[in-house]
Structure 1
């Protein structure tokens, strides 16, 4: 098996609200849309973010676990500078992201902040000064 990820699929409660957030709010361009089912957005050279209606997701994947708290993973968008971190967080805030956690220096040397999309999925906006951080930049 190749060491790569091709799709990141998020089960969303309100597909149209998620579409508005990502497409109109963040300014991303969908590559495929099936009304009421899925919106797919190329987010990397070989990576697709798939926003999938929860009911359709469950029909294929299985029952979604419910509970309080934050989904147990983050999606990270890395940029080159601290100023870019702040700019992306401001864009997310303008798109309606709640809550937005302001960026701050981290003990490991980076600078990161978080926002939540309409379903509470946490996006980390980061600059990472280490070698792995440089590998992920375009």
Structure 2
């Protein structure tokens, strides 16, 4: 599989329905996967993930977990070879926050990911999709 590196945005929101309305009705995005507290939106070719959190988005505690992922975070989507190379380097650097885990099994978003922390502690998700390219 040939896959260029892609990024996604993962945002904390207080009101998921209001956020989905804004990103779809105002900015023209298209929701493509939704759970109780999370909605994935395709926005001009970008993957936007909205996570409803208890705290204010401006004051959300760095690393608060929603669905097993630290929020807020940035993420990159890579092919299998690059995924393994980054995992190896992150393991050697001891920067892995959350070990590799398969998520969303059996859906269009079926993927394997792990999380690392940059030197300031900001979390990054490293993700590879199972069975092909992402649906956005």
Same fold (TM over 0.5): no
TM-score scaled by length of structure 1: 0.38
Q: Looking at secondary structure, tell me which structure has more strand per residue.
A: 2
TM-score scaled by length of structure 2: 0.39
Q: Looking at secondary structure, tell me which structure has more helix per residue.
A: 1
Larger Rg: 1
